[in-house]
Structures are given as C-alpha cells and as structure tokens.
Homo-oligomer: A and B are copies of this chain.
Amino acid sequence: MAIHSAGFGDLCLDKENGMALYRQLAEILRTQIADGVISPGRKLPSEAELSAAYRVNRHTVRQAISVLASEGLVYKLKGSGTFVAQPAAEIDYRVSRWTRFTENILELGRRPGAQVRRHVELPAPVRVAQHLGIASGEKVAFLEILRFVDEEPFCLTQSYFPVALTPGLTAKIQRYTSLYELLEREYGLKPMRTRSVFSVEFPSLEGAVALGIPRNLPVLQVESTMVLATGQPVEYSIGRFRADRCKLRVDFT
C-alpha cells in the first residue's frame, strides 16, 4: 500500500530540541488525528512506513504509538494495523434514585441492549453480605450482564440479590430484556438506589475482553446499593462503565 498523505517528507523530527523523538512523533500523530487528517476508523500508516517517513527506528515509532494507545486514541489489531478510535460519542448517563439502564438509554434516543453472561445462585461473599444486610454464606442470586448502547459494549454489571426476596430469579432472567421489568412483574419489587460509590479501576482480563477495551484502559466503576421502600436491601451491584463512552451524572434535586 502506498502512503497517501502528503507532507511525509523527513523534515519533521528534531533531535536537538530536547523533547524525545517518540514524544514528538506522538504529538504529530495526535495533532493529525485531532485535525482529522486521519479520520476515525481509518488505519494509521504502518510502523514500517512511519519509521521510514520520519527516519527513526521502528521501536521509536512503537513507543510513540503506545502513548496514543494507552490514552485510547488509537487501537491495534494484530496482523492488521493500527486504527484511529471512534471519538466515542459520549453518553450522559443519569444516576439517580430511580433511573434504570433501559429507560436511561431510550431517553437519549439510543438503542439499549443486554446480554446475560452468568446467572447462578451462590453463597454470599462477606462483602456482598454486608451490603445486603444478610449473613455471609446465605444464598444470593448472582447476575452478570453486559449492556450495550447502539450494539456497542457499554458496561458490565455484576448484581447480587438475596434469594429470599427473589426466588427463581436466575431462571427467569432470560425471559426479560429489562432487569427492573422482571423485578417488578415477577416479584412486585421496586428497588430504589440508596448509595453509589464511584471509583476508577482497571478491568480484569475477562472484563476487558467483554467491554472490548485493552486492559490498560481504566473503567469507571460504580458500586450501588438498592433498597425497598421499607429500607431493606434488595440488590448490591458493581457496574463497570467504559470510561471513553460516558459520563455519569448525579442530580441533587
């Protein structure tokens, strides 16, 4: 493949100005991406091409690209090339007492989706038991759901429910697209969010694969506790959101 871009002479990098070559190259590429010289989804020149064009070693090129990759600005496909990431139209996701994923996304005029990856009953781990106000080891229903917006992975959620409140939950989940529709129709439960804790974490290997991001891209994690009108805890969940796709908004009304 030929290099289409004009201006790929060799004048560009300056060995004397004190800034490392790879930083200079990263800056050039960052600017070209920002300016749309290489548009989202398009392939960057290969490492060999950049190496030749800027007259630096291929490893120096790799170092430059790795900077951009660690910021999520580009992504690499083995054997295929390095591509400019989609600008990740940001989703303004509301977190409040009553908001639920499906309605939240529909209100934004986008298509919500979900895939149940795991559904089992298990003894409550200590941490989960504490949040649910039950004895450690008591049975809980565990759900792991990967959620999509416009068919793109958006967040991976692990939820725990006391089996006492939601008997048979793991069996019924496949028949619904919305978790909260299920809770209301099958059990007459209307959980209310009572606490959310926001933090930045790096995904597990499995989580990264599910969300379609590299392990070195951080996720926005939200631990939430849901209760009934009586105050009894009904759900403890850990949601891991793709940090490049959303901001989480809380309104203190």
B198 touches A252 (CB 8 A): no
Per the 8 Å Cβ criterion, residues 63-101 of A in contact with B are 67, 70-71, 92, 95-97
A198 touches B97 (CB 8 A): no
Instruction: Give the shortest distance, in Å, between A120 (CB) and chain B (any CB).
Output: 28
- For A216, list chain B residues within 8 Å (CB): 67, 70-71
- For A96, list chain B residues within 8 Å (CB): 252
- Quick one: closest B residue to A193, CB to CB? B252
Q: What is the size, in residues, of chain A's interface with B at 8 Å between Cβ atoms?
A: 30
- For A246, list chain B residues within 8 Å (CB): 199
Bound Cα distance A252, B248 (Å):
15
Per the 8 Å Cβ criterion, residues 209-249 of A in contact with B are 216, 218-220, 243, 246-249
- For A196, list chain B residues within 8 Å (CB): 249-250, 252
Is A251 an interface residue, CB under 8 A from the partner?
Answer: yes
- Quick one: closest B residue to A219, CB to CB? B200
A252 touches B195 (CB 8 A): yes
Bound Cα distance A246, B198 (Å):
9
Interface of chain A: mostly helix, strand, loop or mixed = strand
Per the 8 Å Cβ criterion, residues 169-193 of A in contact with B are 192-193
Bound Cα distance A192, B248 (Å):
19
Instruction: Give the shortest distance, in Å, between A223 (CB) and chain B (any CB).
Output: 8
Bound Cα distance A172, B96 (Å):
37
- Quick one: closest B residue to A223, CB to CB? B247
A202 touches B71 (CB 8 A): yes
Is A197 an interface residue, CB under 8 A from the partner?
Answer: yes
> A220 contacts which of B200, B250, B251 (Cβ < 8 Å)?
B200
Bound Cα distance A193, B97 (Å):
17
- For A251, list chain B residues within 8 Å (CB): 194-195
A218 touches B193 (CB 8 A): no
B198 touches A247 (CB 8 A): yes
Residues of A participating in the B interface, judged by any CB pair closer than 8 Å: 67, 70-71, 92, 95-97, 192-200, 202, 216, 218-220, 243, 246-253
Could you give 28 example pairs across A and B, Cβ below 8 Å? A67-B216, A70-B216, A71-B202, A71-B216, A92-B197, A96-B252, A97-B252, A194-B251, A194-B252, A194-B253, A196-B252, A197-B247, A197-B248, A197-B249, A198-B247, A198-B248, A198-B249, A198-B250, A199-B220, A199-B243, A199-B246, A199-B247, A199-B248, A200-B218, A200-B219, A200-B220, A218-B243, A250-B250
